[in-house]
Chains A and B, each alone.
Chain A
Amino acid sequence: MEWFKNAIVQVTKSMDVIARVLFLLIMLLVVGNVIFRMFGRPFDGSYEWVGFMMGTAISFSLAYCALREGHIAIGILVERLGGKIRQAVLLLEKLLSFFFLALTVRMILLYGNRMLESGHVGMNTGVPLYYFAYIIAFGFLVYCLVLIYNLVDGAEKMIKR
């Protein structure tokens, strides 16, 4: 399973690098808009582009954040449990999170399909909104893969014990 783990690390890290670049682009767009607005020529649709780029950046960094255990959780009770029970509870938590997030991927994909059917586009940019729903669904899909990674890792540790 090492190849799978390495692939997950590489994919999530690459997506996070894209998110970092998008953060810089958001900053440049926002500051550029402020400067150009002073001369009476603000960028059309800049607010929408900021939203699109942020949606992409956040969904692309969700999985790497999960890989680095960046999502806040309360561990005071679980950490007091004994070794094997703790591992079992943590596996249960990952399994539960995995199933629910997989369901969330489906929900967002269906939401994107409805946007596609109804022809929703950005008011100022005219960009179809369903692109970004699919991008967000992809971000959650990779988050699910990180949970599989954690499940495999946790199961291996349990077997070793």
Chain B
Amino acid sequence: MSPLTIGIAGILLLLLLFFLKVPISVAMILVGYLGYGASTSFTAANRVVAGEIYTTFTSYSLSVIPMFVLMGFLGYRAGIGARLYSFAYKAVGFLPGGLAMASQVACAVFGAICGSSTATTATIGSIAIPEMKRYGYSEKLATASIAAGGALGIMIPPSVILVLYGVATEQSIASLFLAGIIPGLLLALMYMLAILVITLREPSLGPPASRDYLSLNELSRSLGGGLGEIMAVFLLSLGGLFAGWFTPTEAGGVGVAGILLVILVQKQLTLDVLSNALADATRTSAMILFLVAGATIFGRFITVTRLPFDLAHWAGALPLPSFAVLLVILCIFLVLGTFIDSMPLMLLTVPIFFPVVVNTLGFDPIWFGVIMVLVVTMGCITPPVGINVYVIKGVAEDVPLHVIFQGVWPFLVAVFLCCVLLIIFPQLALFLPQAFKM
């Protein structure tokens, strides 16, 4: 069998294992082992599997993941989400669809602190959905807006998916974080515009919650209720990373220490909060790092089959402009994203498509990382897997799944438009890394 045939057989076997519900990390290691062994020798495959697991688990550069994950879960368990929502509610609650917009603001800020789309969706969803129901919002708008907004967590830094992309492609994590800021904020704005359009067309879907405009003084008082300190920690952590004072792991560590200090001073640090946050963080980090090990082993197998090189050669020889090839690749991501979760999808496809897009088609690797995350964002809310929709279903059990999926369409259009803007104006992602000379 030629290496290419082994490569394609490996991908088919991987899909079969996925559908047998084998954990994605185990499936990737198993197929990587069998494929690498068949392409070279099983003695070499033994060493690759053991060596990659050891290297991944003890890697200093990957220790950034547990730190940012812990930072997010501490914020989640300490109830920062509720305060953020209350602040955003005071700021935009008077607008038509204002509560749904407030949820987007809260999702953007909480997602920035937390970095996880599911944690953002669960936190803001559990606070905002009952509130929206109280003010007569339609179930469709209330649930779908949070499912979509939760995905802002993987776009706005610190984003665990951008960290994984940076590690897998050897790109600067600080540059990727900077590159994600403007597209993330743009996406939040597009979501708010989508809500405004929906509620202007049919005001009964999201009536204003309050008729009063708030003064700047009231808003700043609201920020002073503990949120200012949290934002200061966030700025110190990421600012230190962008300024080159900290490594990414140190930025995460400083963030964890800062949030611990703030919630201690605010008397919100209990043994329960700390223990639950740590339990969430160990579980999530183990899942992610096992996934990274699996993807690395699978990537080694794919490399020995020369599949990415053949694919790059084929893509380079196509009588199509680079953008058309890129669009085909993004469509593949979109289709895969409908049934594979965002993190494994990113890890699985990067070794195959990154060389094509960056080396053959000549696109900027940082820009591609952001565009890829944006497309993956769509996968979080598209059926049948759409993880955020399932999280929302867990929060609002009485709302049927199909109602939530119907409601996400306007938000999918918003992500699509954001993608188009980013393709037409790559500077939206590249401006900040270039301004910081990264």
- Chain B contacts of A73 at CB under 8 A? 18, 21-24
Contact B26 A71, beta carbon cutoff 8 Å:
yes
Minimal Cβ-Cβ distance residue in A for B22: A93
Contact B339 A16, beta carbon cutoff 8 Å:
no
Set B21, B24, B291: member contacting A89, Cβ < 8 A: B21
Given contacts A16-B282, A33-B250, A76-B385, contact A27 B50 (CB under 8 A): no
Contact A90 B282, beta carbon cutoff 8 Å:
no
Contact B57 A65, beta carbon cutoff 8 Å:
no
Set B22, B58, B278: member contacting A96, Cβ < 8 A: B22
- Chain A contacts of B253 at CB under 8 A? 26-27, 30-31, 34
Q: Which chain B residues in 331-349 approach chain A with CB under 8 Å?
A: 339-341, 343-344
Minimal Cβ-Cβ distance residue in A for B19: A77
Set A30, A66, A68, A78: member contacting B249, Cβ < 8 A: A30
Q: Which chain A residues in 85-138 approach chain B with CB under 8 Å?
A: 89-90, 92-93, 96-97, 100-101, 104, 107-108, 110-111, 132-133, 136
**Is there a chain B Cβ closer than 8 Å to A158's Cβ?**
no
- Chain A contacts of B341 at CB under 8 A? 72, 74
- Chain B contacts of A23 at CB under 8 A? 66, 70, 278, 281-282, 285
Given contacts A54-B63, A55-B54, A70-B283, contact A27 B23 (CB under 8 A): no
Contact B57 A75, beta carbon cutoff 8 Å:
no
Q: Which chain A residues in 28-67 approach chain B with CB under 8 Å?
A: 28, 30-31, 33-34, 47-48, 50-52, 54-55, 57-59, 61-62, 64-66
Contact A31 B257, beta carbon cutoff 8 Å:
yes
- Interface size on B, as a range, is 35 or more
Contact B57 A71, beta carbon cutoff 8 Å:
no
**Is there a chain B Cβ closer than 8 Å to A19's Cβ?**
yes
**Is there a chain A Cβ closer than 8 Å to B425's Cβ?**
no
Contact A74 B385, beta carbon cutoff 8 Å:
yes
Contact B287 A72, beta carbon cutoff 8 Å:
yes
Set A26, A61, A90: member contacting B63, Cβ < 8 A: A26
Most buried by A among B19, B57, B250, B256: B57
Cα A71 to Cα B22 with chains together (Å): 9
Given contacts A58-B289, A100-B30, A104-B49, contact A27 B67 (CB under 8 A): yes
Contact B21 A50, beta carbon cutoff 8 Å:
no
Contact B279 A16, beta carbon cutoff 8 Å:
yes
Cα A87 to Cα B249 with chains together (Å): 42
- Chain A contacts of B434 at CB under 8 A? none
Given contacts A26-B63, A71-B25, A73-B24, contact A136 B19 (CB under 8 A): no
**Is there a chain A Cβ closer than 8 Å to B225's Cβ?**
no
Q: Distance (Å) between the CB of B69 and the closest chain A CB?
A: 9
Contact B53 A104, beta carbon cutoff 8 Å:
yes
- Chain A contacts of B343 at CB under 8 A? 72
- Chain B contacts of A55 at CB under 8 A? 54, 57-58
- Chain B contacts of A52 at CB under 8 A? 58
**Is there a chain B Cβ closer than 8 Å to A24's Cβ?**
yes
Q: Distance (Å) between the CB of A62 and the closest chain B CB?
A: 5
- Chain B contacts of A90 at CB under 8 A? 21
Set B26, B47, B254, B385: member contacting A97, Cβ < 8 A: B26
**Is there a chain B Cβ closer than 8 Å to A5's Cβ?**
no
- Chain A contacts of B385 at CB under 8 A? 74, 76
Q: Distance (Å) between the CB of B229 and the closest chain A CB?
A: 17
- Chain A contacts of B58 at CB under 8 A? 51-52, 54-55, 132
Cα A107 to Cα B279 with chains together (Å): 29
- Chain A contacts of B46 at CB under 8 A? 107, 110-111
**Is there a chain A Cβ closer than 8 Å to B200's Cβ?**
no
Q: Distance (Å) between the CB of A135 and the closest chain B CB?
A: 9
**Is there a chain A Cβ closer than 8 Å to B363's Cβ?**
no
- Chain B contacts of A74 at CB under 8 A? 18-19, 21, 24, 339-341, 385
Given contacts A24-B278, A108-B54, A136-B53, contact A97 B250 (CB under 8 A): no
Contact B62 A54, beta carbon cutoff 8 Å:
yes
Q: Which chain B residues in 286-343 approach chain A with CB under 8 Å?
A: 286-287, 289-291, 339-341, 343
Q: Distance (Å) between the CB of A114 and the closest chain B CB?
A: 8
- Chain A contacts of B287 at CB under 8 A? 65, 70-72
Given contacts A30-B250, A65-B287, A72-B287, contact A100 B50 (CB under 8 A): no
**Residues 17-59 of chain B: 1 if any A CB is under 8 Å from the residue's CB, otherwise 0?**
1111111111001100100000000000011011101100111
- Chain A contacts of B21 at CB under 8 A? 73-75, 77-78, 89-90, 93
Cα A28 to Cα B18 with chains together (Å): 39
**Is there a chain A Cβ closer than 8 Å to B353's Cβ?**
no
Contact B24 A100, beta carbon cutoff 8 Å:
no
**Is there a chain A Cβ closer than 8 Å to B130's Cβ?**
no
Contact A101 B283, beta carbon cutoff 8 Å:
no
Given contacts A30-B253, A78-B19, A107-B50, contact A20 B25 (CB under 8 A): no
Q: Distance (Å) between the CB of B301 and the closest chain A CB?
A: 15
**Is there a chain A Cβ closer than 8 Å to B94's Cβ?**
no
15 cross-chain CB contacts under 8 A:
A31-B250, A34-B246, A51-B58, A52-B58, A54-B59, A62-B290, A70-B283, A70-B286, A71-B25, A74-B339, A76-B384, A78-B20, A90-B21, A132-B58, A136-B57
